[in-house]
Amino acid sequence: MMAIETRILGTIRRIPRGKVATYGAVARAAGFPGAARRVAWTLHRSFGLPWHRVLGAGGEIKLRGDSAVEQRLRLEAEGVAFRGRRVDMRRHEFKFPRKSAALKSKIR
């Protein structure tokens, strides 16, 4: 598998239980801003990942049919709340840590 996919997969694996991230955010965190579609493609053909924690912009589920239902159920099972058809991002969006470093002094 290629480097890009490896990084994307690793990034997705960092999303903790009960949290979610968007395709675009994953792409940026992996170092490929704008490659949201690549994230989707990678997810489509990968196993053993918390795939259900990756959503479209605005916390919207982008799958169709049964898969969409399964994703919603999996998320709700980990305590993720929905607001209509989308996830309440204010409460559950996972912020990928910015390259470590100076954040301790930043906290007030």
Partner DNA sequence: ACTGTGACACTGG
Partner DNA sequence: ACCAGTGCCACAG
- Residue in 35, 75, 80, 87 binding DNA, rule: CB under 7 A: 35
* 95, 16 Cβ separation under 8 angstroms: no
- Residue in 7, 14, 62, 74 binding DNA, rule: CB under 7 A: 62
- Residue in 20, 36, 80, 87 binding DNA, rule: CB under 7 A: 36
How many residues belong to the site for DNA (CB under 7 A)?
28
Kind and range of the H or E run holding 72? helix 65-77
In single-letter form, the type of residue at position 46 comes to S
- Strand ranges (DSSP E) for the chain? 21-22, 54-55, 82-83, 86-87
Dist CA 55 CA 28 (whole Å): 14
Instruction: Verify binding: residue 89, DNA, rule CB under 7 A.
Output: no
List residues binding DNA (CB under 7 A): 2, 4-5, 22-24, 32-41, 43-44, 51-52, 54, 56-57, 62-63, 67, 71, 84
